[in-house]
Structure 1
């Protein structure tokens, strides 16, 4: 007798009351609100149980002197509090003389700055040692190697800064672009060598800008110190990479997901942008140095900058070796690369801040490094190799030229 299989009948669970799903944005915002509430409560209660940790511990006073301006009968000092505790400047000692002074802030909170107007009849050409004495007896030391009057910031001053930007930015880049006819008549092998030279030039600019930015904030820990240089470099690199990926997706420049070499026009534009960002940081440093009287702008220095930056024009036109020579396009590329030096000089002469200068130099370093990497696919020979004896020699030549010309602009 066959036993008939009776399937087990299951009954659906009774439908109860269901809560509406919590919005996803609220799930993400909730922990942030709780963290903010906890931090606010911790601050209001002044760290319950931790008050004894600071008993008998002297405050940490870290002050950086960011700028010194010399006016007739007066020394104007800009100082910034880099430490975690408030700082008050009680006395100013100039070469063993306690001078009278006024200040914009009696007490500097963390990261705040104060401008001190010190009454002192300084002598042109003399050196001075300055000590800012805090209310707790600490001393912040700085020095003036050779006193010189700071330039007046008027119309003629800003005109001089604009002219300086043209001298060190626009004119050298334009001169370097005059190599365009030579590049157009060069063979493929020579073009690969010149591309290697361009990679060497850009690589040197990246390292040079990074080191210069780190030097600016070596003794200034406000706003992260040397970290702002790497933050600027990483930011510029990621922005340019993201922009390039977006343009590739919208213009279908990839083949089955494999990245292709950039079109020469776009690559030249990226090079001009990267060099322009670098020149803005360079102009910022030059303008700020001149504003505080620490840079002698002689004819030799201008010639040095011109020779050093002329190679930047070569870097822009090299990818265009097989493109029609449109003068309007070349002029626009030259302005993109050179004109930011004018803006940098004007900003540096008026609102100089070491962290800002270092950040912009880092931005320039990241930009030119990104462009140098994008140049590598264009250096491939017929076998698909990038680094050949010719291209390697070109890179070494580019590094050597930039190093040699850089010796001319040691200010």
Structure 2
């Protein structure tokens, strides 16, 4: 219990850690750097899904829970995307104006973070001791640039730097709740563990392919983003081998 609580807090509050530089940054970050951060995060999450979550689910209970969990993960994220307005954090060509719908935007970003917390909690409920820590690290590395980009977006909409930092931190903090929920559900109903792991993998893969990769290619930085995506994969593989 202590491990999942600490892991969920650290991974969730990485959003605030990532947003912290916004208090001191004088100039806006270039699109190339933003796209590189997104692609690096995508590589980390891809490796966590394909080399940790799915293999663990397969080893626990075979292929059927993997099929079901992946399908449900994608289905839930698809439903969220359809119900919640998409917020384009990177590109000035599109997106909603925060002066009219600030609370809606914050709510949308927050809800999109919920499956990430769930994946941390489910992973800690797995029988393999290192799985939870690995996924917490992966989500934490993904949350840091996300927090920075959210805060940067809010500042571009004339929100004060400190207030933008607090809002960005709050959007990540909700992951603690879903992390503990996922842990308790799968820990006390052990048959749910492979489904939960696969669900988390499906949700993460949806985010990678639908959100992170397209966003990282939106300003002509495809080659740089490809390199940083691969760097993210290699970085996470090194972490996997280290645990």
**TM-score normalized by structure 2?**
0.68
Structure holding more helix per residue: 2
User: Residues 246-294 of structure 1, C-alpha deviation per residue, up to 9 Å, x if partnerless?
Assistant: x37xx9x9xxxxx9346798788666545531331232132242xxxx5
| Structure number with bigger Rg | 1
After superposition, the C-alpha distances for 1:139-176 in whole angstroms (9 at most, x for unaligned) are xxxxxxxxxxxxxxxxxxxxxx2x32331122233145
Q: Choose from 227, 235, 238 the match for 2:78.
A: 238
Give the TM-score normalised by structure 1. Answer: 0.44
Q: Paired residue for 2:222?
A: 387
Secondary structure at 2:125's aligned position in 1?
helix
Aligned counterparts of 1:333 and 1:210: Cα–Cα separation in 2:
26
Alignment partner for residue 280 of structure 1, among 105, 118, 125? 118
Shift of 1:214: 4.8
Alpha-carbon spacing, 1:214–1:180, altered in 2? closer, same or farther (3 Å): same
Please say if residues 278 and 363 of structure 1, whose CA atoms lie closer than 8 Å, have aligned partners that are also in contact.
Answer: no
Query: Which residue of the partner structure matches residue 398 of structure 1?
Result: 232
Which range is displaced more, 208-217 or 336-345? 208-217
Most deviating of 276-285 and 209-218: 209-218
Give yes or no for contact 1:277–1:340 (8 Å, CA) kept in 2. Answer: yes
Q: Are the equivalent residues in 1 in contact too, given 2:73–2:202 (CA < 8 A)?
A: yes
Larger RCO of the pair (alpha carbons < 8 Å, separation 6+)? 2
Deviation digits for residues 290-346 of structure 1 (CA, Å, limit 9, x no counterpart) = xxxx5389xxx96x7765443233132232324233254234212223432222222
How far is the alpha carbon of 1:351 from its aligned partner?
0.9
In structure 1, C-alpha distance between the alignment counterparts of 2:105 and 2:35, rounded to whole Å? 12
Please say if residues 12 and 140 of structure 2, whose CA atoms lie closer than 8 Å, have aligned partners that are also in contact. yes
Alpha-carbon separation, structure 2, partners of 1:199 and 1:344 = 27
**CA deviation after TM superposition for structure 1 residue 217, in Å:** 3.1
1:337 corresponds to? 175
Residue 145 of structure 2: aligned partner: 315
- Pair 1:356–1:219, CA change in 2 (3 A): closer
CA-based RMSD = 3.9
* CA shift in 2, pair 1:218/1:310, >3 Å: closer
Offset of 1:190 from its aligned partner? 4.2
Determine the C-alpha separation between the residues in 1 that align with 2:7 and 2:202.
19
The separation in 2 between residues aligned to 1:239 and 1:203, in whole angstroms, is: 24
1:235 CA drift (Å)? 0.8
Distance 1:402 1:305, change over 3 A: same
Rounded to whole Å, the distance in 1 between the matches of 2:19 and 2:169 is 12
In the alignment, structure 1 segments of 5+ residues that lack a partner are 1-160, 254-258
CA contact 2:65–2:194 (8 Å) conserved in 1: yes
Q: 2:58 pairs with 204, 217, 231, which one?
A: 217
Runs of 5+ unmatched residues, structure 2: none
| Contact 2:70/2:199, CA 8 A, preserved across alignment | no
Compute the displacement of 1:395 (Å).
Answer: 3.2
- Contact 2:118 2:175 survives alignment (8 Å): no
Residues 175 and 362 (structure 1), Cα distance of their counterparts in 2 relative to 1, 3 Å cut:
closer
Would you tell me which structure has more strand in proportion to its own residues?
1
Aligned positions of 1:242-391 closer than 5 A = 242-244=82-84, 247=85, 260-261=94-95, 273-289=111-127, 295=129, 307-320=137-150, 321-322=152-153, 323=155, 324=159, 325=161, 326=163, 327-353=165-191, 354-369=193-208, 370-373=210-213, 375-376=215-216, 379-380=218-219, 385-389=220-224, 391=225
CA distance in 1, matches of 2:137, 2:179: 15
